[in-house]
Amino acid sequence: MERQVLLSEPEEAAALYRGLSRQPALSAACLGPEVTTQYGGQYRTVHTEWTQRDLERMENIRFCRQYLVFHDGDSVVFAGPAGNSVETRGELLSRESPSGTMKAVLRKAGGTGPGEEKQFLEVWEKNRKLKSFNLSALEKHGPVYEDDCFGCLSWSHSETHLLYVAEKKRPKAESFFQTKALDVSASDDEIARLKKPDQAIKGDQFVFYEDWGENMVSKSIPVLCVLDVESGNISVLEGVPENVSPGQAFWAPGDAGVVFVGWWHEPFRLGIRFCTNRRSALYYVDLIGGKCELLSDDSLAVSSPRLSPDQCRIVYLQYPSLIPHHQCSQLCLYDWYTKVTSVVVDVVPRQLGENFSGIYCSLLPLGCWSADSQRVVFDSAQRSRQDLFAVDTQVGTVTSLTAGGSGGSWKLLTIDQDLMVAQFSTPSLPPTLKVGFLPSAGKEQSVLWVSLEEAEPIPDIHWGIRVLQPPPEQENVQYGGPHSSFVTAWMLFPAMLCKMGFAVLLVNYRGSTGFGQDSILSLPGNVGHQDVKDVQFAVEQVLQEEHFDASHVALMGGSHGGFISCHLIGQYPETYRACVARNPVINIASMLGSTDIPDWCVVEAGFPFSSDCLPDLSVWAEMLDKSPIRYIPQVKTPLLLMLGQEDRRVPFKQGMEYYRALKTRNVPVRLLLYPKSTHALSEVEVESDSFMNAVLWLRTHLGS
């Protein structure tokens, strides 16, 4: 990706950022019920939810917009917006009922201070709010989970009950020295009557509750909750095994029970965000007898079970390895009536040519089944792109719905009655909203996509995919972490840098997702070497083949990308004139005891992880050998560090350790510490400030 003219003034960069940051991002979509007009025409509404940065309010705002799609049953006749966008304040979750006649909304309201915010569960029908339940006042449970790891909001098939996940109600606690007003006139009977079962426990004020790590700090003990829409009664389901935490739940066929994913939390909880390797299994709990039944292998990890339209089968993702945090998954099918489980799509060890390279998504869309309950549609990284695929669950064939296009990336938002709603973007094209019908089996590649919301391409950004082969001495016999990848989709920071005149190189080193399971498994034990050499090789190749100034090369990376960046300025100090690192891993050994993913430290260093492992000297030595801190004496590249003080994944003390080591050696270093920010540094104020500081740092040390 590149453009030729370098902007020189910070004001110009700020104006450019203000403009490009207004590009909205799609977050969800759902389809309304089929409507037949008096003239015989058919149409459906498409309800979409978007997010957008608001630099004036310094927050991410959410808004919705509706569209009409007229069709003839298998193709779109006409499509367009139905009115303008409307901001949706306070909405945490929303879900249409199966018939589309009602909508459930979880909303937060009230103040921002501790205990001031309340949660309401609302039911809307036609042009009115039918019901509103103050969940906070009812005190049946703690806050409702709105995340995409555990959270759910599911209507029963009969549309009489709502299922959701909330924090288990915690017992009240108070000081040993809490004083209360004494009513001297009260009798012994009255005093006894005032002692309620949930009276405060003395001495438990500061009991530690484990949580699920980064971005999940308030979530510890999830419970399944059912709301009776008519009566307003809320019940917390019993029967869930005590050793697992439930989530991603939905109603079983006939509403007789609930299907859910249960994650092991013994002997202690680990970070679950972006970690598909957490041991988990599929369960069914019977609402009448309270009996819980295991539906899948309980030694692996599973995610996103989805019930077919005919309510006969459940498809879900299964991860066969508990080692890398993200990996190639299996697509499994559970037959509700025969109770037989089959693997529809298996792990792909190595991609052959342009063939399918495996499934690399952490969640299936809520709507992913075809109307006939035979095929499943999903998106997945395939090398450096993200494509849509249809899987025939009867025979296991996988067909691309978007191969051979313009090279951008796709994301499926939903499919219902074979009408697909998808997002398409490229590095130079912000997200566009498209709809199209899933063709009949065997004709999947003939989808006719129609744009509902067309984004304008950003001029002067040119991009492409370049495939590089590592030199023979760097070959890994396994083929060839972080285990994610860059795809040809819209990204704000690279687009901004291109518009400012930089050429941007995004490297999918060996260990990235989308290239086969062997590639992913080649990285553990080789971090700090294989990944670093791959990036350096890519930089050297591009400098040889393109007309760039080799004396004006800079690095920018976050998390594992920050880890690689700090390695590069230590291992190849002559190559780089400036570096920007966001929450980088600096010392794997010291990170082990403070991160929410200690297993990453052990596994990526090349050792098996177990919850009771106590590293010996050889393990510590290997962790240090693979850490950027080892190369401190060689570093001379000016470094800008950006750290989130609330980062649970890579605690900010990692960056502090590097900062102090560089200061001692008089290496130019600047540290930005964001007090309330987490690992992603994605809050609007933090993101905008970090980008402007990065631009000024690069301009200062690269020159104009």
Selected catalytic residue, list 647, 677, 690, 701:
647
Which of the pair, 475 or 84, is modelled with greater confidence?
84
- In terms of C-beta density within 10 A (0-12 exposed, 13-18 middle, 19 or more buried), how is residue 576 classed? buried
Q: Which of 14-28, 45-59, 103-117, 414-428 has the lowest mean pLDDT?
A: 103-117
Q: Is 304 a catalytic residue?
A: no
Give the integer Cα–Cα distance in Å for 210 and 215: 13
Region 199-219: mean pLDDT is 94
> Residue 483: is its pLDDT beyond 70?
no
Q: How confident is the model at residue 353 (pLDDT cuts 50, 70, 90)?
A: low
- In terms of C-beta density within 10 A (0-12 exposed, 13-18 middle, 19 or more buried), how is residue 81 classed? middle
H/E element holding 124? strand 117-125
Note whether 640 and 670 are within 8 A (CB): yes
Contacts 24+ apart (CB under 8 A), 602-605: 603/323, 603/324, 603/524, 604/481, 604/523, 604/524, 604/525, 604/527, 605/525, 605/527
Note whether 205 and 174 are within 8 A (CB): yes
Ranges of H-type helices in 546-615: 560-571, 588-591, 598-604
- In terms of C-beta density within 10 A (0-12 exposed, 13-18 middle, 19 or more buried), how is residue 528 classed? buried
Which of the pair, 8 or 581, is modelled with greater confidence?
581
Number of alpha helices (DSSP H) and beta strands (DSSP E) in the chain: 12, 35
Share of the chain above pLDDT 70, in %: 94
What strands lie across the sheet with 385-392, from one edge to the other? 375-382, 385-392, 398-400
Determine the pLDDT at residue 3: 43
- Bridge partners of residue 393, in order along the sequence: none
| Closest to 35 in 3D by CA, of 305, 511, 537, 419 | 419
Q: Which of 20-34, 134-148, 353-367, 619-633 has the lowest mean pLDDT?
A: 353-367
The DSSP-derived string for 505-555 is -----TT-TTS-HHHHHTSTT-TTTHHHHHHHHHHHHHHHHS---TTS-EE
Summarised one tens digit per residue, pLDDT across range 248-265 is 999 999 999 999 999 999
Share of the chain above pLDDT 90, in %: 85
Summarised one tens digit per residue, pLDDT across range 158-169 is 999 999 999 999
Distance of CA 491 to the CA centre of its chain: 15
Determine the pLDDT at residue 477: 59
Phi, psi dihedrals of residue 512, rounded to the nearest 5°: -75, 155
> Residue 115: is its pLDDT beyond 70?
no
Selected catalytic residue, list 484, 485, 522, 559:
559
Determine the pLDDT at residue 188: 60
Give the integer Cα–Cα distance in Å for 547 and 526: 32
Determine the pLDDT at residue 245: 98
> Residue 83: is its pLDDT beyond 80?
yes
Question: Which CA distances in Å does 618 have to 396, 529, 556, 607?
Answer: 45, 18, 32, 11
Q: Is 136 a catalytic residue?
A: no
Determine the pLDDT at residue 623: 97
| Closest to 664 in 3D by CA, of 698, 688, 629, 694 | 629
Q: Is 647 a catalytic residue?
A: yes
Summarised one tens digit per residue, pLDDT across range 228-247 is 999 999 999 999 999 999 99
> Residue 664: is its pLDDT beyond 90?
yes
- In terms of C-beta density within 10 A (0-12 exposed, 13-18 middle, 19 or more buried), how is residue 694 classed? buried
Region 270-275: mean pLDDT is 96
Question: What's the pTM value of the predicted model, to 2 decimals?
Answer: 0.94
Which of the pair, 288 or 106, is modelled with greater confidence?
106
Q: What tokens appear for 652 in the block?
A: 């900010």
> Residue 464: is its pLDDT beyond 80?
yes
Q: How confident is the model at residue 4 (pLDDT cuts 50, 70, 90)?
A: very low
Summarised one tens digit per residue, pLDDT across range 586-637 is 999 999 999 999 999 999 999 999 999 888 899 999 999 999 999 999 999 9
> Residue 186: is its pLDDT beyond 60?
no
Determine the pLDDT at residue 563: 98
Determine the pLDDT at residue 125: 96
Summarised one tens digit per residue, pLDDT across range 528-548 is 999 999 999 999 999 999 989
Note whether 641 and 671 are within 8 A (CB): yes
Contacts 24+ apart (CB under 8 A), 51-55: 51/24, 51/25, 51/27, 52/22, 52/23, 52/24, 52/25, 53/21, 53/22, 53/684, 53/687, 53/688, 54/684, 55/18, 55/21, 55/684, 55/688
Summarised one tens digit per residue, pLDDT across range 414-446 is 999 999 999 999 999 999 999 999 999 988 888
Determine the pLDDT at residue 471: 82
Determine the pLDDT at residue 179: 79
Give the integer Cα–Cα distance in Å for 591 and 217: 18
Distance of CA 531 to the CA centre of its chain: 23
Region 316-322: mean pLDDT is 93
Determine the pLDDT at residue 8: 57
Q: Work out the end-to-end distance of the chain between its first and last CA atoms, rounded to an integer number of angstroms.
A: 19
Give the integer Cα–Cα distance in Å for 664 and 116: 46
Q: Which residue has the tokens 């007003």?
A: 181
Q: How confident is the model at residue 110 (pLDDT cuts 50, 70, 90)?
A: confident
